[in-house]
Copies of this chain bind each other. A is one copy, B any other.
Amino acid sequence: MRTYIDCLPCFMDQALRAGRIATKDEAKIKELLDYVGSMIKDIPMENTPPETGNIIYREVRRITGVADPYKEIKKFHIKEALALYPELKKIVSLSENRLLTAIRIAIAGNVIDLGVNKKFNLIEDVAKILKQDFAILHIDEFIEELDKAESILYLGDNAGESVFDKVLIEELGKPVTYVVRDVPIINDVTYKDAIASGLGEVAEIISSGTSAPGTILRLCNDEFIRQFEKADMVISKGQGNYEGLSNVNRLVFFLLKTKCEIIAKHLHVQENDIVLKASDYN
């Protein structure tokens, strides 16, 4: 997905939010906003938004001197999600359609997103999403591909959401490789977060090699590209990965909650919808 003009003010909002989390020093936040303002004119509109996000959060780290501003928040979200895990497992085991319920749960975890300007209440939002209708539900194709697959590449999104991903991975019943960001970026899931979420018990964990808050293939390492090309099935969580991969030339299943009007429009759905979408590709 390319960058839209609506993304430009949003980059400034993101910088302000991230700056505030990293530091209380208003002068540093001002320096950050000055930097992001100045770079607006140089943002290639054909680039995906997470590529610009990558630069913004690099500057957050450089200007504030804080390498991982979301470290404690991520720990808290993983703890909160792990406390819910037994209940989530019970919901799956009591449901009529275990796989679809686990997919819903994985999408519900996608509310834990600090890159967007939305507050969330994990327990309330999960309960709501468990009853919410899908705006796009390519479940037949998903099941068909899952039945055939001998290897699944699962692209993680946020820390905490990773625990919800574990619930879905346990229902897939196939060997799964779980992909994390290479370094801390916003509250995105890293190797350490994935281990803390218990994903080491159910999947191989690899890094995509990128520090961008989304999967942008030309920023990923060779090992990830190799796995992305050869995996029988690819499952992609969240907006950042969707933005990076929406035009990619292979079948990818996108699982996400739309939390931004531009992405919702791009998917032809409404904001706050839930989506299981098979990518359009030739």
Contact = CB atoms under 8 A, between A and B. Distances in A.
Interface of A: 5-6, 8-9, 12-13, 15-16, 26, 29-30, 33-34, 36-41, 45
With most chain B CB atoms within 10 A of its CB, the pick from A8, A38, A39 is A8
13 contacts: A5-B16, A5-B29, A5-B30, A5-B33, A8-B33, A9-B9, A9-B15, A9-B33, A12-B37, A34-B40, A36-B40, A37-B40, A38-B41
Contact of A30 (B12, B16, B45): B45
B34 A5 contact: no
Contact of A9 (B12, B30, B34, B38): B12
A41 B45 contact: no
A130 B38 CA distance: 45
Given A37-B40, A37-B41, A41-B38, A12 B5 contact: no
Nearest to A29: B5
Contacts of A13: 9
SS class, residues of chain A in contact with chain B: helix
A181 to B, nearest CB: 25
A23 to B, nearest CB: 12
A10 to B, nearest CB: 8
A195 B34 CA distance: 42
Given A34-B41, A37-B41, A40-B37, A26 B12 contact: no
A56 to B, nearest CB: 12
A260 to B, nearest CB: 14
Given A9-B33, A12-B12, A12-B37, 14 more contacts: A5-B16, A5-B26, A5-B30, A5-B33, A9-B16, A30-B45, A33-B40, A34-B41, A36-B37, A36-B40, A37-B37, A37-B40, A38-B38, A38-B41
Contacts of A33: 5, 8-9, 40
Contacts of A36: 37, 40
Contact of A37 (B6, B26, B38): B38
A16 B33 CA distance: 17
A238 B15 CA distance: 29
Contacts of A26: 5
Contacts of A6: 16
A271 to B, nearest CB: 14
